[in-house]
Amino acid sequence: MQQAELTVPFQPMGRHGKGRVVVKWEVEFPIHGGDGARGIQLFVYDTDFSSDARDQALVDVERQDAIRHRRGADCDITRFTLRRWSGT
């Protein structure tokens, strides 16, 4: 008799042992250029918790590639906005 093979999709577990619910979070930092220009730097993360997105954004905003991307403009890390991502 041949055995049937059962394939069960892998479902990662969240921190609290429940099924993982991944949410996209956007973290926005205001930036100010030396020439008076103003804008934002936006980071988007897939993570279970908003605090994880916040923590990672606070690290990423100080990375050299992020500074280069905003062309050396100053970034106010005390005035960030954190919300569920509204894009598609």
Between residues 67 and 6, the one the model is more confident about:
67
At residue 86, the pLDDT reads 81
Domain annotation for the chain: domains and CATH numbers: 23-84 (3.10.20)
Could you tell me how many residues make up the chain? 88
At residue 53, the pLDDT reads 95
What confidence tens digit (pLDDT) does each residue in 30-86 have?
A: 999 989 999 999 999 999 899 999 999 999 999 999 999 999 999 999 999 999 988
> Cβ distance 38 to 30 under 8 Å?
yes
Nearest to 73 by CA among 39, 31, 13: 31
Confidence band, pLDDT 50/70/90 cuts, at residue 18: low
Say if pTM beats, i.e. exceeds, 0.85.
no
